[in-house]
Amino acid sequence: MRARIMKIGWRIGWHEYIPDMARTGKPAGTTCFLARGGDGHWAGGVSTSGWAYKHPGRLGDSPVIGAGLYVDERYGAAGCTQTGEMTIRAGTARAVVAYLKRGASVGEACSEAIDDLRALKGGYLGPVIVHAVDREGDPAVLGFRLAKEANYWYWREGMDSPECRSVVNAGC
């Protein structure tokens, strides 16, 4: 018997900063994937730093629990791409899920987490994209400090193929 899987995932690259791998052969993107299986269990994954020629020893937010990725089946899941230095300081992925727990919609939760990022002063400040789904699978993807338009892919059970959607720019 084939398992039914509902896929909700995104891929955001650093295309506005670094030429992509297809054209240059060099790694150039961060991937965030949030998915719910046919059994209702959630999972998530985020790659760590597609930043080519990064500073030696730089740690991205992906391996820091609650910064670049956080999944709680009771409320939803969130992942972040781009400037991990900011999401580490704000605990962004965990904050999104905490806002969901408090009753915020997925869009409101992302907006609140971006307000947390906006409050950061000093240190390395750059663009961040927050990807989230609530426990029902409703998505929101908001960008902060984006210089150019960004897109993500969305695929839900019953859809023939994934859809490319625009990231909502939440400003600077």
Annotated active-site positions, please?
A: 30
**Would you tell me how many other CB atoms lie within 10 Å of the CB of residue 121?**
6
Q: Is the sign of the CA dihedral 30, 36, 37, 41 positive or negative? A: positive
SS3 of residue 90 by DSSP: helix
Specify whether the CB–CB gap between 99 and 114 falls below 8 A. no
The radius of gyration of the chain's CA atoms, rounded to the nearest angstrom, is 15
Largest CA distance in the chain: 54
**Would you tell me how many other CB atoms lie within 10 Å of the CB of residue 65?**
12
Q: What is the DSSP letter of 107?
A: H
